[in-house]
Amino acid sequence: MDGIFNINKPPGSTSFSMVSLVRRLSRQRRVGHAGTLDPIAGGVLPVCLGKGTRVVEFLLEESKAYRAHIELGRSTDSHDASGKITAEADCSSVSRQQIEQALNSFRGEIQQTPPMYSALKYNGQRLYHLAREGITVERQSRPATIYKLELIEFQPPEVVLEVECSRGTYIRSLAQDLGQLLGCGAHIKELYRLKYGSFDIKDAVSPAGLEEAFDNNDWQRLLYPIDYVLNHWSSVVVDEDQERLIRHGSSVIIEDDKPEKRCRAYNQDGCFLAVLYYDDESGRWQPQKVFA
C-alpha cells in the first residue's frame, strides 16, 4: 500500500487527525502528511503511505493555491479567527481600489515575518508552544514568492483573495500585513487550500468518503501512485544493466540531453524505479531515492 491520498481536510480538524484516520483505515504505520494545514483551514492535504512518504520532501517544494477570507478592522494574536483580539479599528472607509493598490505590494518576491503561531522552532521549541505560554520571540523575515494574488470579492468588512504562492508563505502573515498597510488591521476568517502541486481540491476526497471507500474495499481508486507528484519532471527508461546499478545505488550514464538536475527513472517494464540527480562533476546520474 504505497502512494498518496488527496484528502479534503475539513476546517476544525487537525492535519494529524487525517494521518490518524488513514493509519487506522489502512492499518499502515508509515503514514505522513505533506504541508500542515492549520485547524482553522480546510482543503487539500496530501497524506502519504508506505514508500509514498519518501516523496514528501519533493512535494514540499511545490507551489500552493489558497482562497483566503480576510476580515478587516480586527487584528488577533494568531492572525486568524482562533486567536485573541489585539486591536480593532474602523475600516468603513476602505475601498476596493485601495485594496487593489495595496495588493500590488505583495506580488512577486516578498519578505515575511513568520507568525508566532507557527511550527518553526526557536531553541528547539515550536513557536506555537511559546505563543500559547504568552511568550513572544524575535523572528527573522524570510523570502516568499507570490505568483498570483487576485481580489475575488469585497463585501465590507470581508475581503476574499485567491493566492498562489511558494513554499514557506504564510497566508496569515499576508492578511496581517495587508491590514497594517490599509491602516485598519485584519485577520484570516476562513482559509481553504485549493491546490498543492498536482493535487486539486476538485479531486480531493472527504474523510467520510475515504472511510466509505475502505468499507467498500475500493480505496485503490483514490490512491495516487508515488510518481504522481513528480510528473512535471523529465523521465528516462533505463536498460537492465542500468537498472541493476541503480538498485545498488550506483551512478549511471544516460545518453540523453536533460537540462533538469533531477529526473524520474523507469525500468523496461514501465515500473517507477528511482529519482536520479545529475552530478556535474562526474557527468553521471546518481540515484537519490530508489523505490523498486
- 38 given a catalytic annotation: yes
Write down the H helix ranges in 206-255: 207-215, 240-247
Residue 253 and residue 237 in contact, taking contact as beta carbons nearer than 8 Å: no
Catalytic residue among 38, 80, 177, 227: 38
Residue position matching grid coordinates 540527480 = 277
Residue position matching grid coordinates 485594496 = 99
Cell of 157: 468588512
Between CA 110 and CA 168 the distance in angstroms is 11
Between CA 276 and CA 40 the distance in angstroms is 38
Between CA 11 and CA 33 the distance in angstroms is 16
Supply φ then ψ for residue 62, to 5 degrees: -75, 155
Catalytic residues: 38
